[in-house]
C-alpha cells in the first residue's frame, strides 16, 4: 500500500538524530558478508525481522543501537550514519549506546524522568549531575552543557573555536586523581576540603562548581577567591590552575608590566620583531635561576 503524506511525516519524525539510509545499511551488511540474522543476533535480537524492516525503511532502529550496528558491520558510525548538525542531550546518550533508563541507572541521583525532561527541553539537569553524566557519555562537562543548551533550543555557535578546560572539567580531573576509589558525593568533597584548609565550602557549592556554574555566581558574597585558594591548597596545585585562562593571561601580563616598571626597562622589544625585550629577558632569566626547585 502506498505511503500517505501522513505516513511520510511520521517516518520523518521517527528518523534518528543521525541520517539513516536503509539501502546503505543493506549494502554495508552485504559488504561485511553477514546475514540479517547474524546482525540481529549481534544486537541481542532473536529474529531477523527487525533488520529486514530497517533495510526497507519500514521501521528505524533505536538511535542508541546505531553505534553497535556500525561496529558489527565494521564501518565507522559517522560514515554509515552521518550526523547533521551538533549533538543535543539525546544524541550524546544514543552515541554512548544507552537508553534513558540504562543511563539513569548508571548515574547516582538521576532518574529517567529527569533525564527525559532535560532531553525534551522541559527542565534542566541538576548541576551536580552534569559531571557524572558527561563521564558516562565520554564527553566533557562543557560539551554536555552545550548539548543541553541545544535540547532547550539554544543553537550552538557556528565555527566556535575549541574552548579551554572550564573549572568544572578541571575539578573533575583533580577529583579523579585524588579519589581513586570513586567519585565522592559533594558533601564528602566539601568536608575534606574544609577539614584540610579551614574553609566553609558547602556541598551545594561544590555540586554547583562541578556542574559548570561560574565560581563568581556560586560565591555571590565575594568569597570566590578565598574558596578557590582553599580548593587549590587541598589539591596541592596553584590557584591559577582553577582560574579562567584569559584571566590568568591578563594577570601575568599585568605582573610583567609591573616588573618592567620596577626595573625601569621596556617590556617589549623595539622595532618590528616584537617579543620580550632583551633587558626583560635578563630579569626573567635571573628570576628563574633564583627560583626554588
pLDDT digits (tens, 9 = 90+) for 137-159: 988 888 899 999 999 988 766 55
DSSP state of 85: S
d(CA 238, CA 276): 25
CA 287 from chain center: how many Å? 39
Q: Assign 10 a pLDDT band (cuts: 50, 70, 90).
A: very low
Q: Are 268 and 277 in contact (CB under 8 A)?
A: yes
Q: Is the pLDDT of residue 22 over 60?
A: yes
Q: How much is the pLDDT for 12?
A: 38
> Is residue 245 within 8 Å of residue 164, measured between CB atoms?
yes
Q: What is the mean pLDDT of the chain?
A: 82
For residue 177, pLDDT over 90 is answered with: no
Residue 277 has pLDDT above 90, yes or no: no
What pLDDT is recorded for position 104?
94
> Do 205 and 218 touch, CB atoms closer than 8 A?
yes
Average pLDDT over residues 259-280: 78
Tell me if residue 18 falls in helix, strand or coil: strand
CA dist., res. 98 & res. 104, Å (int): 9
Q: What is the pLDDT of residue 217?
A: 80
Instruction: Decide: 117 and 123 in contact? Cβ < 8 Å.
Output: yes
Burial of 202 (0-12, 13-18, 19+ CB in 10 A): middle
Give me the architecture of the 89-151 domain, per CATH. Orthogonal Bundle (1.10)
Q: What is the DSSP letter of 241?
A: G
* Residue 192 grid cell: 575534606
User: Three-state DSSP class for 112?
Assistant: helix
> Which of the four pLDDT bands, split at 50, 70 and 90, describes residue 220?
confident
Tell me how far apart the alpha carbons of residues 152 and 146 are, in angstroms, rounded to a whole number.
Answer: 10
What's the Cα-to-Cα distance from 31 to each of 18, 24, 69, 72, rounded to whole Å? Answer: 21, 10, 14, 12
Contact 66, 88 (CB under 8 A): no
If one looks up domain 5-80 in CATH, what number appears?
Answer: 1.10.260.40
- What is the spatial distance between Cα 163 and Cα 172, in angstroms, rounded to a whole number? 16
pLDDT confidence tier of residue 14, bands split at 50, 70 and 90 = very low
Separation between Cα atoms, residue 287 and residue 88, nearest integer Å? 49
Q: What are phi and psi of 18, to 5 degrees?
A: -85, 155
Domain boundaries, the chain: 5-80, 89-151, 167-242, 245-290
Query: Could you tell me the pLDDT band of residue 125, with boundaries at 50, 70 and 90?
Result: very high
Strand partners, 83: 18
Whole-number Å distance between alpha carbons of 277 and 267: 6
pLDDT at 101: 94
Mean pLDDT of 76-102: 87
- Give Cα 193 distance to the centre of its chain: 25
| Residue 190 pLDDT exceeds 60 | yes
What per-residue confidence (pLDDT) applies to 161?
Answer: 52
Grid cell at residue 241? 590552575
119, 90 Cβ separation under 8 angstroms: yes
Indicate the pLDDT class of residue 114, thresholds 50, 70 and 90.
very high
Cα separation, 256 vs 36, in Å, equals 67
Burial class (CB in 10 A: 0-12, 13-18, 19+), 236: exposed
More confident residue, 32 or 247: 32
Say if residue 63's pLDDT is above 70: yes
Q: Do domains 5-80 and 89-151 have the same CATH topology?
A: yes
Amino acid at each position: 500500500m502506498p505511503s500517505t503524506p501522513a505516513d511520510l511525516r511520521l517516518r520523518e519524525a521517527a528518523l534518528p538524530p543521525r541520517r539513516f539510509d536503509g539501502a546503505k545499511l543493506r549494502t554495508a551488511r552485504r559488504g561485511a558478508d553477514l546475514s540479517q540474522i547474524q546482525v540481529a543476533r549481534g544486537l541481542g535480537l532473536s529474529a531477523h525481522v527487525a533488520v529486514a524492516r530497517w533495510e526497507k525503511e519500514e521501521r528505524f532502529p533505536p538511535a542508541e543501537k546505531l553505534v553497535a550496528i556500525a561496529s558489527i558491520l565494521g564501518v565507522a558510525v559517522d560514515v554509515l550514519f552521518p550526523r547533521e548538525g551538533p549533538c543535543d542531550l539525546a544524541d550524546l546518550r544514543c552515541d554512548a549506546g544507552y537508553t534513558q533508563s540504562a543511563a539513569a541507572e548508571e548515574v547516582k541521583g538521576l532518574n529517567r524522568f529527569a533525564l527525559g525532561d532535560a532531553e525534551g527541553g522541559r527542565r534542566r539537569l541538576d548541576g551536580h549531575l552534569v559531571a557524572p553524566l558527561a563521564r558516562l557519555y565520554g564527553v566533557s562537562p562543557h560539551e554536555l552543557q552545550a548539548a543541553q543548551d541545544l535540547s532547550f533550543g539554544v543553537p550552538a555557535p557556528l565555527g566556535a573555536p575549541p574552548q579551554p578546560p572550564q573549572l568544572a572539567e578541571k575539578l573533575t580531573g583533580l577529583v579523579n586523581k585524588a579519589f581513586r576509589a570513586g567519585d565522592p558525593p559533594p558533601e564528602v568533597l566539601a568536608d575534606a576540603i574544609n577539614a584540610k584548609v579551614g574553609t566553609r565550602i558547602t556541598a551545594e557549592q561544590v555540586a554547583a562548581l562541578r556542574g559548570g556554574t561560574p565560581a563568581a555566581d556560586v560565591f555571590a558574597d565575594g568569597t570566590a577567591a578565598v574558596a578557590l585558594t582553599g580548593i587549590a591548597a587541598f589539591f596541592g596545585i596553584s590557584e591559577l590552575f582553577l582560574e579562567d585562562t584569559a584571566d590568568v593571561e591578563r594577570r601575568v601580563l599585568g605582573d610583567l608590566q609591573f616588573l618592567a616598571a620596577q626595573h625601569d626597562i621596556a617590556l617589549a622589544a623595539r622595532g618590528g620583531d616584537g617579543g620580550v625585550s632583551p633587558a626583560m629577558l635578563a630579569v626573567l632569566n635571573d628570576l628563574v635561576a633564583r627560583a626554588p626547585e
